[in-house]
Structure 1
């Protein structure tokens, strides 16, 4: 069984610092493997968020897709390195994705919270995070079931009714 990875203390501080900033641009950097000519394999390897205060943050699942990590990322350098190392069979394709519904609904909205799962004190697994925005929309960033990252609209689960005593009659 794989060991559960956790966010490092400095990553948690960085995530906490997102409260109050607004996302004004989003770039997906897609890892693309073209070694099988009949089928190209792609995954979202790096997610770059750009903010209204001119800062940016890049998340990756890492080489082993073993946890979300915050990294410094230069797509030009990384692309050149991969193209040379794998004779043009591995590439990085970058796409601006602010028109996708998941991002269009939160663009220029302030982040009001970053939710992490807490297993115990100082142990927050780095398999997912949820960004909560001032317009109450939420975006979940998680490890993909295959490789890389997944990004989805997140909605809180409805409360579970534990007793029917107070159930409203029609």
Structure 2
């Protein structure tokens, strides 16, 4: 059994389990003052629903939908494969001997790497690109967890270079 695949698939569940274990309210969380309406959600409420915010490294640059973001289900549908919607990440190939082979994605505990759509900056020597899990029918309504790992595809025992996990919500 590929232990890395098992770890990657179980990661979103572990992230949520650890997020549920806290040491009390986050003192840095913004709390609304009485009498002034605000759309800011306190950090502890975000963590309760979406787990911890992702930590970025050198290769995963931007996520879409972003952490704790709500998107309409219609916006996740892919009508044109050249312009994919769904769960996407902008990535950098800096420091990698190969490009896309170093990236793996799991959604709701299921690896979807083989179903990724890639858009790269160049066919000869790309410096980065966008990877998307973009099912034609879109992403189902609900809260979803996703994780991206950057690891050597030729050495399954090598240390994972980067791991970014996050959660977001798809609404009707």
State the TM-score bracket (shorter-chain normalisation): under 0.3
Between 1 and 2, higher relative CO (CA 8 Å, sep ≥ 6) is seen in 2
TM-score (norm 2): 0.25
TM-score (norm 1): 0.25
Q: Larger radius of gyration, structure 1 or 2?
A: 1
Q: Which has the higher helix share?
A: 2
Q: Which has the higher strand share?
A: 1
